[in-house]
Amino acid sequence: MTVLVTGACGFIGSWTVRRLLEYGEKVVLTDLKRDYHRLRYVVGDPERHPFVEGDISVPGFLDDVLSRFGVDAVIHLAAFQIPQCRANPVQGALVNVVGTVNVFEACRKHIGQVRRVVYASSAAVYGPPEIYGEGPVPVNAVLRPTTHYGAYKVCNELTANAYWHEAGIPSAGFRPQVVYGYGRDVGVTSDATRALKAGLARIPFKIRFGGMIDLQYVEDVADLFVKAALKDYPGARVYNVRGTIMHVSDLIKLIEGLIPESKGLLTYEDKPLPIPAVLDDSETERDFGPLLRTRPEEGLARTLQFFRNLLARGELDLSDLKPQ
């Protein structure tokens, strides 16, 4: 199968490309610019795969790409993160909302060829935890996002539903929360990964949130996108993603255990994320299980090894440790 990955140069995009290749699939990469700085370390030799530069917010950009490479499925990951959407809501809507419409519209024009669209939604579609009560929040709970980013993700879920009913395009959207791993350097929840890097570099670092979080390792999330791209199913489906529920203070303790020299350097703001930490992923497990669930100790250790290797070569980029 040939799978097109939008946002292929990004954090989850790079790991999704790697996972597709591990499954033995063909990949076509697209992003705004041909920036291999993540892909080179995650994939190894990204230049050997077809890459098309372009802006998904421009109508028609993907039409030729789908035809030229005979794309069978699309994994749509290109998006602005929360800080970018907050700083420029109009541009954020063009990329996140109009861009997603353009992806589905291109697939509609290739309805006999493209089998499905898999896309990144977000746990940011939910509202504050207090409106949901006790217990895991189901996938069909009321959506009351408090950020532009979350609102755009809700719109994308509705767009996917409309394209199923009006054009018959199957889709699956996934709602990750605090995804960590090598390459995560943009967005509020990137602080989990950036704290690990700061600890290695012996730089004081304050995580911008506290409370309970759902910590999800990037390889597990990438595997979920790939499984959905390779499986046949009807409808416009949306799924919660779940990893390990923990307090931010426990995350810091895990990092200190891996890097004893970081003790006392890492702190956090006692301000919970404006979304529920505990989501019900039973439907995800039912349709795509058994799911990968990497323990935080192991995922953080793998990520730390990436950072150590880069540090040993003098290639560890610390620029993302500045305030965002």
Three-class secondary structure of residue 324 per DSSP: coil
Tokens (6 digits) for 147: 């950020």
Which residue in the list 36, 119, 126, 149 is annotated as catalytic? 149
Three-class secondary structure of residue 126 per DSSP: coil
**Residue 149 a catalytic site member:** yes
**Which residue type is seen at 8?**
A
Residue-wise DSSP of 243-273 = -EEEEHHHHHHHHHHH-GGGTTTEEE-S-B-
- Distance CA(225)–CA(265), nearest Å, equals 35
Q: Are 230 and 210 in contact (CB under 8 A)?
A: no
Q: Name residues whose C-beta falls within 8 Å of residue 114's C-beta, 6 or more positions apart in sequence.
A: 66, 71, 72, 73, 74, 107, 169
Question: Which uninterrupted H or E stretch holds 300?
Answer: helix 296-312
Sign of CA dihedral 129, 119, 292, 115: positive
How, if at all, do strands 116-120 and 26-31 pair? unpaired
Question: Pick from 63, 52, 100: which is nearest to 79 by CA?
Answer: 100
Hey, which residues are catalytic here?
Answer: 149
